[in-house]
């Protein structure tokens, strides 16, 4: 007799989480739990043996509960909120409450083969936090520079404003240096081999190498370069229907904008110094493609090179790479 897989849906918020639990009966049991150690322990005590817990990715809110369940040997999956939203739209579900969302996650788990969640190594989480803070500091630096530029063109310049902004700019730049040092220390301790392999790729610099390692966990969670390109929003999106609708192909942009910007800047260099990227760029231009489209293709190529290099643990060489991996 085939054993029936039981599911539990979890809708997580800051202070509470709503759960729906299958127990082999027709009716789902729903509960609202306090997001505390006691609340999580009470939830685990309710779960039937072999249950599979499903929750949405909610920034950082879901992490503590996902870790708690994983540490106790309970199967847990963290799914894309957009995928769940589209599933609800397909079912024409109109209401949205925490209770109904937890029930929906049970249905989603029963309908789709969702992968089990695995916690990231702590240094990947630290690198991601540092990258996010670095991005915030860079935005602050740009804002301050723009304000100082505007101040220089003003007829009247307040000395206090000018002095304060310059002090803030100095502090931001000092913080950026500290962030870079902290990232370098983590990379040298845990990811030195992968870091050196990525830096060896013509066109990829230190910052992009660190970002690729941090955001992909060293490519451990991907089985193909197509998955990586899709994850970062660099996969093409075709828009056609019948004979009348022939939209332009564009990248989907459903991934992380931060890494796309870095790869685009790398593409500006790679189109000159990276043999495979240079050939691709020239071929696209000769075929009448626009320069921006060709640069996006080069960024895509760089990401594929990075995936192959890290997966195969071989140092990048222009001719060797082209012959062995055919990218």
pLDDT, one tens digit per residue, over 185-241 is: 999 999 999 999 999 999 999 999 999 999 989 998 888 888 888 888 876 554 444
Tokens of 289: 């493609």
Buried b (16+ CB within 10 A) or exposed e, 85-96: eebbeeeeeeee
Q: Which long-range contacts (CB under 8 A, 24 or more apart) does 168-175 make?
A: 168/140, 168/144, 169/141, 169/144, 169/145, 172/137, 172/140, 172/141, 172/144, 173/141, 175/137
pLDDT at 50 over 50: yes
What's residue 293's pLDDT? 86
pLDDT tens track for 59-84: 788 999 999 999 999 999 999 898 99
Q: Is the pTM of this model over 0.85?
A: no
Tokens of 295: 């640069």
Buried b (16+ CB within 10 A) or exposed e, 25-57: eeebebeebebeeebbeebeeebeeebbbbbbb
Enclosing H/E stretch for 33: strand 29-34
pLDDT tens track for 130-176: 999 999 999 999 999 999 999 999 888 899 999 999 999 999 999 99
């Amino acid at each position: 007799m085939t054993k029936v897989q039981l599911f539990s849906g979890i809708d997580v918020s800051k202070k509470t989480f709503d759960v729906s639990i299958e127990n082999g009966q027709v009716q789902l049991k729903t509960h609202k739990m306090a997001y505390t150690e006691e609340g999580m322990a009470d939830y685990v005590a309710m779960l039937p043996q072999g249950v599979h817990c499903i929750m949405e990715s909610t920034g950082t809110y879901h992490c503590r509960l996902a870790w708690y369940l994983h540490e106790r040997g309970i199967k847990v999956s963290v799914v894309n909120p957009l995928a769940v939203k589209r599933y609800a739209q397909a079912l024409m579900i109109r209401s949205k409450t925490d209770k109904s969302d937890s029930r929906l996650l049970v249905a989603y788990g029963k309908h789709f083969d969702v992968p089990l969640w695995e916690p990231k190594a702590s240094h990947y989480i630290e690198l991601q936090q540092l990258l996010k803070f670095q991005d915030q500091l860079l935005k602050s630096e740009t804002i301050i520079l723009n304000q100082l530029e505007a101040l220089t063109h003003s007829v009247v310049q307040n000395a206090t404003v000018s002095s304060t902004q310059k002090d803030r700019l100095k502090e931001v730049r000092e913080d950026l240096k500290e962030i870079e040092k902290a990232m370098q220390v983590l990379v040298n301790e845990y990811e030195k081999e992968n870091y050196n392999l990525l830096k060896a790729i013509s066109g990829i610099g230190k910052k992009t190498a660190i970002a690729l390692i941090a955001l992909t966990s060293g490519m451990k969670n991907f089985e193909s370069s197509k998955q990586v390109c899709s994850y970062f929003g660099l996969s093409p999106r075709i828009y056609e229907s019948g004979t009348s609708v022939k939209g332009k192909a564009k990248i989907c942009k459903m991934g992380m904008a931060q890494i796309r910007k870095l790869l685009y800047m790398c593409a500006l260099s790679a189109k000159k110094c990276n043999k495979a990227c240079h050939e691709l760029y020239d071929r696209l231009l000769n075929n009448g493609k626009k320069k921006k489209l060709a640069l996006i293709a080069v960024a895509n190529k760089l990401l594929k090179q990075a995936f192959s290099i890290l997966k195969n643990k071989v140092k990048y060489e222009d001719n060797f790479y082209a012959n062995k991996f055919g990218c």
